[in-house]
Amino acid sequence: MPIPTNFLSPTRVSAKGRAFSQIQEWIIDGTLQPKEKLNDADLAQALGVSRTPIREALQLLNVQGFVEMFPGVGTQVTSVNKEDVSKILPPLGVLQALAAEHATPLISQDTIDTLREINTEFAQSIKKGDFYSALKQDEQFHNIIVENAQNSYITNSISNLQAHVLRLYFHQSIILTDDSIEEHEAILKAFENSDSETAARIARKNWLRAIDEFYAEQKDRDEK
């Protein structure tokens, strides 16, 4: 799911694992549309495996909030409400803020330099209008901070929310602006000053701002 920096080892990946990754990808990028019915027999044939690994993959996607299961009735992709940006980003914001706070005394100057490079690439992607690359670089930036907080409970909570953010991006609910560029730099400055309180405050603001931008964009569309 997160796959931040390292590739998955090319060791025997299970049929369940392949099914999970593939179906999740299809749901996130919209190949499988919200409310679409998921027939495990069909998916099994499509992926060339039996129904068992499909069933197991769907159950994991269920707890992750990507599919709904109605016992004895059917399984379907969960719906996407664009307004969910305002529901996902607050918890993601406070968790990212906490991660920044905890990472402050642990992060090395080397890592900060790496983050600065990623932020430069992020800025270039934004300028070029390559928002998908920008989103992935933004995610990478924050994931490195999260890793440095060295707290698996924070990491796990965040990675789940992040997958939903990616899905919202594909459904045109997440807008990226260049405000993030200088906020990222401000976080790095706070790290260098060992100012965990400032790092946390800006990190949270960095995520919450996207809510306002979404509604501003919506208003903009409505007026046309």
Distance CA 37, CA 186 (A): 45
Q: How many residues does the chain have?
A: 224
Q: How far is the CB of 76 from DNA (least distance, A)?
A: 8
Burial tier of 202 (Cβ tally within 10 Å: 0-12, 13-18, 19+): buried
129 sits near DNA (criterion: CB under 7 A): no
- Give the SS3 label for residue 100: helix
CB of 220 to its own copies, least distance (A): 26
Pick the binder of its own copies from 46, 47, 49, 94 (CB under 8 A).
Answer: 94
Residues 164-193 as x/- pattern, contact with its own copies by CB under 8 A: x-----------------------------
Nearer to DNA, 38 or 99 (CB): 38
| Non-local CB neighbours of 130 within 8 Å, separated by 6+ positions | none
Q: Is 91 in the site for its own copies (CB under 8 A)?
A: yes
Question: How far apart (Å, rounded) are the C-alpha atoms in residues 177 and 37?
Answer: 35
Output the six-digit token pair for 181: 């560029």
Round to whole Å and give the CA distance between 182 and 214.
19
* Residues near DNA, by CB under 7 A: 11-12, 14-17, 37-41, 44, 49-53, 55-56, 69, 71-75
* Residues near its own copies, by CB under 8 A: 12, 14, 55-56, 59-60, 63-65, 71, 84, 87-88, 90-91, 94-95, 97-98, 102, 151-154, 156-157, 160-161, 164
